[in-house]
Amino acid sequence: MTTGGTQWGPTRYTTAQECKRKYWLSYISGGEGLVSISSAPAMEFGNACHAAWEWFYTQLANDKDKTLLEFDDHVATAIKVAVDWGEVHYPEPLREVMIDETISGLDQYFQHYEDEIFGRKEGMVPISAETPIQCNIGSDVLTGRVDLVCRFMGSLCLANHKTTSKDWTRFFKSFRLSLSERAYVYTYEKTYGERPAILINAMRRRKTKAFEVEFQRDIFHMSDQDMRDVEIIISNVGREVAMRDPNNMHEWEQSGSACIGTYECDFRKVCVYPEMESMYFRQKGVEPETARTEQTAPGESASRDSESSGPTFSLPTSPLCTTATLKEKTEGLQALDSPNLNPLSSLFRSESPNITINLEGGD
């Protein structure tokens, strides 16, 4: 029996393994699946930071000399990418404070790893970014792109950038048997002939008024049995998906254990109250009606420019956050005077012209 020749990435297979109902809602419902109108704030914070890291390390891998020569400018641009994400995706009541926390956290990150980035101390050394991978398992195809291939502690690694507020031990355990991580390793090995490890590059939010964060990394090496398990799981998941009716949601069962994991599943609401779908979700490819309008200078395009060579981010001309605003919203907040912050943070709290950032090579 075959699965009909699926061609998916590791994340899609992982979703199908974890919960069939979530898979149906994510990839099938309405034609292409649904997307949440508003995800959990913690998840969006992680997405914003990931966007900044991905942009920075792509520049570092592709043109190291230029990145180091213009280090402060590259760090500022990476943080602007995260701020732009937050302007669109952070929930309104928390937006200004979350943007300030994003600036602070990333500012601390680049200070913490500056010596590593410049090669003054041993650490994560980027090799390539946006690396394509693809392989066959029977009639199924595993395909995708690796955000960052690097060297760490003498090992070839696939880096995965993460944010969390969990205890470190509990947090890192969740990746050891993750199908997604193992599938990326399997596919990379089949594509390039060398088995990499998985490197989790993590930032932990301490939830203090000064927006303090901590940093830690962990590396996982996969065994031959891990690779055999990937083949078995991918084939089984493909068959399980193929045997269900794509037009009947009730054939796609829920997995209660997946409802509350690292975050509460976005689809939990619609699973319990299907009639409320339109309140929480929209069809993929359909822009939300209440999308935040960004300020742009005359003649400039907002958000993404479809004719550009990569994603285009437009930054607002108004101050993103001010000391007065923060002190109004959070009594006693002293983050703006924290010694952890360097002068880069002030860049995001002053009037500046509208800036368009073109990320070449984007999807």
CA gap 196, 186 in Å, rounded = 9
| 14 vs 359, more confident | 14
For 155, which DSSP code? E
Question: Does 354 score more than 50 pLDDT?
Answer: no
Q: Which two tokens stand for residue 96?
A: 């200004």
User: What is the pLDDT at residue 7?
Assistant: 66
DSSP-assigned beta bridge partners for residue 132? 145
Per-residue confidence (pLDDT) for residue 38, from 0 to 100: 62
Burial per residue of 248-277, b for 16 or more beta-carbon CB atoms within 10 angstroms, e otherwise: ebeebebeeebbeeeeebbbbbbbeeeeeb
Percent of the chain with pLDDT strictly greater than 70 = 72
Q: What is the pLDDT of residue 99?
A: 96
Cβ-Cβ contacts under 8 Å for 192 (sequence gap 6 or more): 133
Q: Are 109 and 115 in contact (CB under 8 A)?
A: no
Long-range contacts of 147-151 (CB under 8 A, 24+ apart): 147/54, 147/57, 148/54, 148/57, 148/58, 148/61, 149/61, 149/188, 149/196, 150/124, 150/125, 150/126, 150/199, 151/124, 151/125, 151/127
pLDDT of residue 128: 93
Q: Of all helices (H) and strands (E), which one includes residue 213?
A: strand 213-220
User: Which has the higher per-residue pLDDT, 140 or 198?
Assistant: 198
pLDDT tens profile 283-292 = 766 665 544 4
The region, left, alpha or beta by phi > 0 then psi within -120 to 50, assigned to residue 321 is beta
Structure confidence at residue 130 as a pLDDT band (50, 70, 90): confident
Q: Where is pLDDT greater, at 106 or 291?
A: 106
Q: In which band, very low, low, confident or very high, does the pLDDT at 347 lie, cut at 50, 70 and 90?
A: low
The pLDDT of residue 183 is: 92
Question: Has residue 125 got a pLDDT over 80?
Answer: yes
What value does the mean pLDDT of the chain take? 77
Q: Does residue 16 carry a pLDDT above 80?
A: yes
Q: Are 155 and 123 in contact (CB under 8 A)?
A: no
What does the pLDDT read at residue 84?
96
Q: What is the mean pLDDT of residues 322-349?
A: 40
pLDDT of residue 100: 95
Top pLDDT among 39 and 94 is at 94
Q: Give the model's pLDDT for residue 145.
A: 87
What's the rounded mean pLDDT across residues 103-121?
96
Q: What is the mean pLDDT of residues 161-185?
A: 90
Mean pLDDT of 348-361: 39
- pLDDT confidence of residue 142: 87
Check residue 334 and give its pLDDT: 37
Give the residue, 340 or 289, on which the prediction is more confident: 289
For 80-130, the three-class secondary structure string (H helix, E strand, C coil) is HHHHHHHHHHCCHHHHHHHHHHHHHHHHHHHHHCHHHHCCCCCCCEEEEEE
- Residue 280 has a pLDDT of 66
Measured at the CA of 9, the angle between CA 7 and CA 15, to 5 degrees, comes to: 110
pLDDT tens digits, one per residue of 307-334? 333 333 333 333 333 333 333 333 333 3
- Between CA 220 and CA 152 the distance in angstroms is 11
Q: Model pTM greater than 0.75?
A: no
Please compute the mean of the pLDDT values over residues 74-86 and round it to a whole number: 96
**Confidence class for position 153, pLDDT limits 50, 70, 90:** very high
Percent of the chain's residues with pLDDT above 90: 42
Stretch (H or E) spanning 282 = strand 281-283
Asked if residue 121 has pLDDT above 60, the reply is yes
